Homo-oligomer: A and B are copies of this chain.
Amino acid sequence: MSTAINGGRGSMMGGASGGTPPAGAGALLPSAEPVQLVGPDGQHVHDDRYPLPDGEQLLRAYGCLVAGRRINDQANALVRQGRMAVYPSSHGQEACQVAAALVLGDEDWLFPTYRDTVAVITKGVDPLQVLTLLRGDWHGGYDPHEHRVATQATPLATQLLHAVGVAHAAKLRGESTVVLAMCGDGATSEGDFHEALNFAAVFHVPVVFFIQNNEFAISVPLKNQTVAPSLAHKAIGYGMPGERVDGNDLAALLAVLGAAVNRARDGGGPSLIEAHTYRMQAHTNADDATRYRSADDVERWVPRDPILRMRTYLRALTLLGDVGERAFADEADAIATAIRKGLNTEVEVNPAELFEYVYTEKTTQLREQAQQLREELARDAAADAASVDSASDDVEHQGKGDQR
C-alpha cells in the first residue's frame, strides 16, 4: 500500500516562481492583510507578488486536502472507539498541513508538531507509523531520516532549533536542503522560538518558519498570547522577512510557502510565515472547548473551510468534476481504511525494548535492570501458568498492576 498521499513525488513547487523577496528593513514587515489568492467564495483574488499556482498543482493538492480531512475524521473516530488515546486534530487547518508538505522536495526536511499528522503523512510517512505515538506503543513510530520528517515535537518550540541545526549542517556541506519548521501561535511565546529565529537569521540558514495561527493555545486565545500587530511582525526583529497568509487558502499557502522555500534554497536565508486559520475542534479529544469558546465563534469559520473554497474554485474552472471527486474520495477512503485496519490490529509490545535504545550500547546498569525485568516477567508467567485463577490479562496488569 502506498501511504504517501502525494504519491511520494518531490516538491510540487520546485522551481515555480513565487514572490520576489523584498529588500530593505521596512520590506521585512508583512503585508497589511494576509495574502489571499482564492477567497472563501472560491474566486481568485489577484496579488501582484504571488501568481496563482497552476491548475494541475492545485488539483493534486486538493486531493491531498480531501485525504487530510479524511485522516482527521478517521483518527477522531478511532479515539472515540478507544483505539487511540488521544488525537490533536487539524480539522480546518488541512490547507496548511498539505501545503507545508507539498512545497518541499524529497531532499527537504519537515519539522512538525503533534498537531501536524496530516502534514507528516502528506510528506510520505506511513500513517500507521505516524499514529504509533498516539496509539501508545512507542514515543515515535517512524524513522525521521526515511522521509526527512522529524518526530512530532511535544515540548513547544523546541523543534524549531533542531530545524535550524539540520539546515545549518546541510548548508555547511553545501547541500540544497531546505527545512520547513512548523509551530502554533502559542508556541511563539516560548524562548526557544526566539532563539531559533535569531540563530537562523544570524547563520543565514535555509529554514522557513511556518506558524499556524489557529487562534488558540488549548484554551488561551491569541489576545492573551501577544498584542503584536501580527505574529509575522516578529520577523523584522530578527532581520528576516515576515509574511501573512490566509491559512484556509490552499493556493495562497502553496504560493507563499513555495516562494519562501525557493528563497531559502537560493541562499536568501530564513523567513517567517504566519497562516491565519482556526482550530475547528477541541485541542484534543480530551479537551472541552465549550469551557472557553462558544459554538458561534466556531460557526463563523465554517464558511471559510479550506476544502469548500478550493472545490468551488476547481469545479468552476472544470478542473474538478464528479469523476475526479470520486477518485479523490476513493483515495482518501483507502487511506482511512488502512489506518482503521492497522489500528484495530493489536500490536505486541516487547518490554525488552525498553532498555534497547537508551544508549547505542547498553550500560552495565541497564543490562542488570533488563535482566531483572526479564526474570520478574518469567516468574510472573510461571505463577500465571501455575494458577488458572490468576491469569493476568493485559488490562489487569496495567489496571491494578499490583498483583504479584
A201 proximal to B (CB < 8 A): yes
Count the A residues whose beta carbon is within 8 Å of the partner chain — how many?
A: 27
A186 shortest CB reach to chain B, Å: 12
Per a CB cutoff under 8 Å, which of B204, B228, B236 touches A201?
A: B228
Q: Are A195 and B201 in contact (CB under 8 A)?
A: no
Q: Are A191 and B201 in contact (CB under 8 A)?
A: no
Contact (A228, B237) CB under 8 Å given A189-B198, A193-B194, A194-B194:
yes
Residues of chain A in range 193-210 having any CB-CB distance to chain B below 8 Å: 193-195, 198, 201-202, 204
A372 proximal to B (CB < 8 A): no
Q: Are A201 and B229 in contact (CB under 8 A)?
A: no
Residues of B within 8 A of A192 (CB): 191
Residues of B within 8 A of A227 (CB): 201-202, 204, 238-240
Q: Are A237 and B234 in contact (CB under 8 A)?
A: yes
A interface, over-half SS: helix
Closest B residue to A225 using CB positions: B202
A363 proximal to B (CB < 8 A): no
Per a CB cutoff under 8 Å, which of B191, B202, B237, B240 touches A236?
A: B237
Q: Are A236 and B226 in contact (CB under 8 A)?
A: no
A160 shortest CB reach to chain B, Å: 11
Per a CB cutoff under 8 Å, which of B25, B194, B202 touches A229?
A: B25
Q: Are B237 and A224 in contact (CB under 8 A)?
A: no
Complex Cα distance A24/B198, Å? 26
Complex Cα distance A233/B197, Å? 14
Complex Cα distance A236/B25, Å? 13
Complex Cα distance A365/B198, Å? 45
Taking Cβ atoms with an 8 Å cutoff, the residues of A that contact B are 25, 28, 189-195, 198, 201-202, 204, 224-229, 233-240
Q: Jot down 9 A-B pairs with beta carbons below 8 A, ordered by A.
A: A25-B229, A28-B229, A190-B191, A190-B195, A198-B226, A202-B224, A202-B226, A227-B239, A227-B240
